[in-house]
Structure 1
Amino acid sequence: MEDNSLEKKYNKYIVAVSIVIPVVVGILFGIKLKDFGIEVEPLSFLPPIYATTNGITAIVLIGAVMAIKKGNRKLHERLMTFAIALSLAFLVMYVAYHMTADSTKFGDLNHDGVLDKIEEAGIGSLRYLYFVILITHILLSIAIIPLVLVTYVRALAQKFDKHRKIAKITFPLWLYVAITGVIVYVMISPYYAN
């Protein structure tokens, strides 16, 4: 009965965090420090770092699954905790970058913020692929928050049957988010203004 109370205790926090994080990120994403008279150099060094963080997260997730399949529960737990920490670090860096830099348009080679006909022709249908990857990445990154938290709490509560059941959904989605984070960076990076 104690295990159920642990899950119930954390459920309200999971719901709150799952709502608060996307809302706060959405608000902060729209805020530019320069609009408040705070002159800060764009943190242009961050995108390759947070893209790398996504890549490392993907590797850590795969390592965590391999560890549990080999019966190494302690290593699995440590790797999953590390994956959560990496995801939080990504989020902080992502928001910090976007609060200090103007948005980058996919295909905007001359960095003027406008996609002219020549630039549009140059990227063609690749633009649609980019947006499909970006939109699925963003939507699943929101959906993954409660899934990760529920999966983690079920492990803490030692409800391993329920943990495994939801982990089969959480793992591939989280892995997709981590990998597509790298892909989005690779696709948009040629258009960053330096």
Structure 2
Amino acid sequence: MKTRIGRHHLLSAAALVLATAAVLLLMGREPICTCGTIRLWHSAVNSAENSQHLADWYTLSHVVHGLIFFWVTRLALPRLSVGARLCVAVAVEAAWEIAENTPAMIDRYRDATIALGYTGDSVLNSVADIGWMLLGFLLASRMPAWGALAVALLLEGVALVAIRDNLSLNILMLITPSDAIRTWQAAAQ
């Protein structure tokens, strides 16, 4: 199996990212934060600027997506090259970024999770989230499974301690919301 990521894979991934940005713009998403600035990091979870800049606490979950996508595609699509699996991962992440920014999903986040004032991502943030997923994918491609698992657990733990939220809790709360978890999360805000 090829382990090299070819130029054509990178061009395909870039095309997917550009197409995602175009779809998000057509959906009416703001290109950048309505505050008019672009920040590398925004740490306030309950603010109008969350999910509007290049990175925030939820960036950690996108890195975890990449770690997971590498190993899932390796197991599910073993005949594909790493580059082809990278394109699959970008397509899945791009589809999530589009779905996450639909009115129905934004409302679901507001109703079911701690993200009470969530208004969706800026296009910049969505594109950056795909980039953070790529980072996780590339990290996982260069480490053993136990290393990727350790990094994923570390990132989940950091987010849990820092903001009482992470990818695992987000999934749980979207599927089966818990008032006890929401109350515990809100106590830290």
Q: TM-score, normalised by structure 1?
A: 0.31
